[in-house]
Amino acid sequence: MLSGRDRRNPAMTDVARVAGVSHQTVSRVLNGHPNVRESTRERVLAAIDQLAYRRNHAARALVTRRTETLGVVAFDTTLYGPASTLFGVEQAAREAGYFLSIVSLKAITRHTVDDALSYLTGQSVDGLIVIAPQRQAVEALAAVPPDMPVVAVEGGRAPDQPVVCVDQAEGAATVTRHLLELGHETVWHVSGPLDWLEAEGRLDAWQSTLKHAGANVPDPLHGDWSPRSGYEAGQQLAGRDDVSAVFVANDQMALGLLRAFREAGVDVPGRVSVAGFDDIPEAEFFSPPLTTVRQDFAEVGRRSISVLLDQIGGRDVESRRVVVPATLVVRASTAKPG
Amino acid sequence: MLSGRDRRNPAMTDVARVAGVSHQTVSRVLNGHPNVRESTRERVLAAIDQLAYRRNHAARALVTRRTETLGVVAFDTTLYGPASTLFGVEQAAREAGYFLSIVSLKAITRHTVDDALSYLTGQSVDGLIVIAPQRQAVEALAAVPPDMPVVAVEGGRAPDQPVVCVDQAEGAATVTRHLLELGHETVWHVSGPLDWLEAEGRLDAWQSTLKHAGANVPDPLHGDWSPRSGYEAGQQLAGRDDVSAVFVANDQMALGLLRAFREAGVDVPGRVSVAGFDDIPEAEFFSPPLTTVRQDFAEVGRRSISVLLDQIGGRDVESRRVVVPATLVVRASTAKPG
DNA sequence: TCGCGCATTGTTAGCTTTAACAGCGTGGGT
DNA sequence: ACCCACGCTGTTAAAGCTAACAATGCGCGA
């Protein structure tokens, strides 16, 4: 197939003929079986080299029932978080010798996720990674065949499937505490869309941290992750004089909020402290540089692959829930109240 | 494979038995061949439904010598441009019924690109999409077997392969003209890394537009696409009083430059006008909102797939070079000189 | 009535690989 | 001297599908 439709590629028998052995011996060499005489192995390898032979994946998959391919379902890989997670997954998968087949969805509904999953299982992938930041995606996981290895990434508390996720709660709690410890009486919050598990996790942790500290819990505002929605939230908050600290659920919205504050003449961090979440590469160069929470997406990718391969290899998946820590990055957008 | 290593999945013969026909008739139904009696087709479809039968891709690929899978080589899919292009490619490929196998590279060298290409051809993909923004990637394309369909995305003027790219020259010329027409005597430039074809294209167009307008051509500064490098360029430019307009080769660097200007007390656009390139979602919410050039990455993805499928289908690839237009988006970071 | 063409269906071979088993010499124990 | 174990290699079957060809049955004209 490599070189196409017309001229046939060399097959194992061709190599065997050149090396003067049977095709099965070639197979043994390729698969690293013992009990092949060293001189034979060398002849075979030489023949492989000479013919530029490459093993046919389809034939191998047909007989072994394994494709060495993992399926990935992702959502809007244009966003920094999903893109980074995908990147981490891809690196780890290739390192482990697996191919990756990807479906990215424009919208997450039961239906689109179901479609994607059956599309990939139809391709006979050996396992599935579902970057499932929304409730609907996690629910759709129930539909995958029970013997198909699956990992839900950012899947909150998926009922039955192994999950790998960033410690949203710890990250949100840390940033909220950071603001309280600076001396702010309370912390406002602009959340992400509530059907996103990450948004929910950050909101819950923010709320319980405030309660635990005995602080008043203001009504949260709700955005959709976009800079525009952060801008709109910023316009609302800029009008109030009881706002001295805001925890925004992601950096993009924080950017919009910063702009609204600037337009309204609200100084950051002089008058109001602002913190974000994600630590996108731009965050350090916002005006002012944004205090935020860094997520180690590469680690999430690695751990996801590792958990998935454990399942595929039939090894016990001791930890059905892997949590990757998040770290606070303090920059110039947070300070003591004026 | 779908449902794993132990229990065998239904095969065509199982469907045939249930429907009371031969497996070949099942195959005919599945492949939409004519000359199948309507009542037979219905029986077969019912049996497929009943058994939840799914055709085995490996067996099919083995006999047809086509995998229905396209290989994609991308570079740092964490960046907005590559991520968006990849997204567009993915949507278009799935719509056309093709699977996608992806390799994203951390670094582009002859070696890593070669590796990726042979990895994918080893998987017997039907065609390759190489998101090849750097010269080295284009050079590595020479190594793919001549009968393997390939499209280079953002591949500049790849010698032998079909190319799909955004009209960098037109975009850069337009934004440069925009600044000149506002009344600026000349336009400074912060370029991307020069081994990137996009950086080169923008630089060249900027230069020739200035020359064509009879304007002085200042020495360009060179960044690496990162906000930090834009910040550093900004620090240099902020010190000069002969700078009244800057065209930055991407939005991320423009963000860094804006910050450097703010720190130095240089008002944008009052004292200096700044324009970027890419129109990342954040650009509209920079302070001030950034004038920039929008690239239609989704269209690039679609066109790439379309050109590739033309090759695979043996159709004449009339246009070996598809150029997608770029559009100027004027916002508040550019104005008449003060 | 016979044969011919056509629509429909079945049969066989082949794609390339791995698994299972069979064969064959060599060396050591009895 | 004989037998068995073992290391190495070959032979055969099987995986699930499509392509090519063969066979069936029916209507229709001669």
| Cβ contact, residue pair B148, A101, below 8 Å | no
Structure tokens at B236: 């240099």
The pLDDT tens digits of the residues spanning B162-206 come to 999 999 999 999 999 999 999 999 999 999 999 999 999 999 999
Reported as half-sphere exposure (CB side, CA atoms, 13 A), residue B29 has a value of 23
Position B78 scores a pLDDT of: 87
Q: Nearest CA to A257 among A246, A270, A244, A269?
A: A246
The pLDDT tens digits of the residues spanning A223-256 come to 999 999 999 999 999 999 999 999 999 999 999 9
Tell me the three state secondary structure of residue A105.
strand
Q: In terms of DSSP H, where are the helices of A3-72? A: 12-19, 23-30, 38-51, 57-64
Position A318 scores a pLDDT of: 63
Read off the pLDDT of each residue in A271-280 and give the average, rounded to a whole number.
Answer: 97
Cβ-proximal residues to A164 (8 Å cutoff; 6+ apart), any chain? A151, A152, A153, A154, A300, A303, A304, A307, A321, A322, A324
Position B235 scores a pLDDT of: 98
DSSP per-residue codes, A291-303? BEEEE-HHHHHHH
Q: Which of residues 135-164 of A touch strand D (CB under 7 A)?
A: none
Structure tokens at A166: 């960033």
Read off the pLDDT of each residue in B101-129 and give the average, rounded to a whole number.
Answer: 89
In whole angstroms, give the CA distance from residue B9 to residue A309.
Answer: 22
Read off the pLDDT of each residue in A262-276 and give the average, rounded to a whole number.
Answer: 97
In whole angstroms, give the CA distance from residue A287 to residue A264.
Answer: 15
The pLDDT tens digits of the residues spanning A43-61 come to 999 999 999 999 999 999 9
- Residue B23 CB lies within 7 Å of the nucleic strand D: yes
Is residue A5 predicted with pLDDT exceeding 70? no
Read off the pLDDT of each residue in A7-25 and give the average, rounded to a whole number.
Answer: 91
- Bridge-based pairing of strands A326-329 and A292-295 is antiparallel
Residue B24's Cβ-count burial label (10 Å; 0-12, 13-18, 19+) is exposed
The pLDDT tens digits of the residues spanning B75-88 come to 888 888 889 999 99
CA–CA min distance A209, chain B (Å): 30
The pLDDT tens digits of the residues spanning A101-120 come to 999 998 888 889 998 998 89
Interface test with B, best of A285, A287, A297, A302 (most B CBs within 10 A): A285
| Cβ contact, residue pair B78, A101, below 8 Å | no
- Closest CA to C10 C1' — which residue? B22
Identify any residues that bridge with B248 across adjacent strands, giving them in sequence order: B190
The pLDDT tens digits of the residues spanning A282-321 come to 999 999 999 999 999 989 999 999 999 999 987 766 667 8
Position A71 scores a pLDDT of: 95
For the CA atoms of A281, A286, A292, A295, what is the dihedral angle to 10 degrees?
-10
Chain C positions under 7 Å from a protein CB?
7-12, 14-20
Tell me the three state secondary structure of residue B268.
coil
- Residue B60 CB lies within 7 Å of the nucleic strand D: yes
The pLDDT tens digits of the residues spanning B33-48 come to 988 999 999 999 999 9
- Residue A29 CB lies within 7 Å of the nucleic strand D: no
Which among B90, B102, B252 has the least Cβ separation from residue A90?
A: B102
The percentage of residues in chain A with a pLDDT greater than 90, rounded to a whole number, is 77
Structure tokens at B62: 């083995």
In whole angstroms, give the CA distance from residue A164 to residue A167.
Answer: 10
- Residue B51 CB lies within 7 Å of the nucleic strand D: no
- Residue A23 CB lies within 7 Å of the nucleic strand D: yes
Provide the number of CB pairs (under 8 Å) joining chain A to chain B: 174
DSSP per-residue codes, B287-328? SSPPBEEEE-HHHHHHHHHHHHHHHHTT-----SEEEE-EEE
Residues of chain B contacting A256 with CB distance shorter than 8 Å: 285
Q: Nearest CA to A326 among A299, A295, A298, A304?
A: A295
Q: CB less than 7 Å from strand C: which protein residues?
A: A 8-9, 11-13, 23-24, 27, 30-31, 55-56, 59-60, 62-64; B 20-25, 28, 34-37, 39-40, 59, 62-63
| Cβ contact, residue pair B227, A281, below 8 Å | yes
Q: Which residue has the tokens 């630089």?
A: B203
Is residue A4 predicted with pLDDT exceeding 60? no
The pLDDT tens digits of the residues spanning B258-304 come to 999 999 999 999 999 999 999 999 999 999 999 999 999 989 999 99
| Cβ contact, residue pair A286, B86, below 8 Å | no
Cβ-proximal residues to B116 (8 Å cutoff; 6+ apart), any chain? B73, B103, B105
In whole angstroms, give the CA distance from residue A332 to residue A274.
Answer: 9
Residue of A nearest to B80 (CA): A78
Position A189 scores a pLDDT of: 98
Residue pair B103/B114 in contact (Cβ under 8 Å)? The answer is no
Position B159 scores a pLDDT of: 67
Position B76 scores a pLDDT of: 84
Residues of chain B contacting A2 with CB distance shorter than 8 Å: 121-122, 124, 145, 148
Structure tokens at A211: 């309660």
Q: Which of residues 39-98 of A touch strand D (CB under 7 A)?
A: 40, 59, 62-63
Position B137 scores a pLDDT of: 86
- Side chain identity at B30, as an amino acid letter? L
| Cβ contact, residue pair A54, B231, below 8 Å | no
- Of A66-70, A156-160, B180-184, B319-323, which gets the smallest average pLDDT? A156-160
Identify any residues that bridge with B102 across adjacent strands, giving them in sequence order: B72
Higher pLDDT, A316 or A97: A97
Residue of A nearest to B232 (CA): A285
CA distances from B167 to A247, B202, B278, B310, B328 (A): 40, 9, 12, 22, 12
| Cβ contact, residue pair A102, B121, below 8 Å | no
Residue pair A216/A184 in contact (Cβ under 8 Å)? The answer is no
CA–CA min distance A94, chain B (Å): 8
Most confident of A31-35, A53-57, A329-333, B92-96: A329-333
Q: A178 CA, D3 C1': separation in Å?
A: 83
CA–CA min distance A299, chain B (Å): 15
Which among B58, B91, B104 has the least Cβ separation from residue A87?
A: B104
Position B185 scores a pLDDT of: 97
Residues of chain A contacting B147 with CB distance shorter than 8 Å: 3-7
Interface test with B, best of A56, A282, A294, A302 (most B CBs within 10 A): A282
Say which nucleotide is closest to residue A9, CA to C1' distance.
Answer: C16
Which among B87, B228, B287 has the least Cβ separation from residue A104?
A: B87
Residues of chain A contacting B256 with CB distance shorter than 8 Å: 285
- Residue B36 CB lies within 7 Å of the nucleic strand D: no
Is residue B109 predicted with pLDDT exceeding 90? no
Q: Nearest CA to B206 among B193, B195, B224, B190?
A: B190
- Of A27-41, B59-73, B222-236, B314-328, which gets the smallest average pLDDT? B314-328
The pLDDT tens digits of the residues spanning A125-134 come to 999 999 988 8
Position B1 scores a pLDDT of: 33
- Residue A123 CB lies within 7 Å of the nucleic strand D: no
Is residue B6 predicted with pLDDT exceeding 50? no
Tell me the three state secondary structure of residue B223.
coil
Is residue A2 predicted with pLDDT exceeding 60? no
Task: Note if the bond before A193 is cis, omega within 30 degrees.
Answer: no
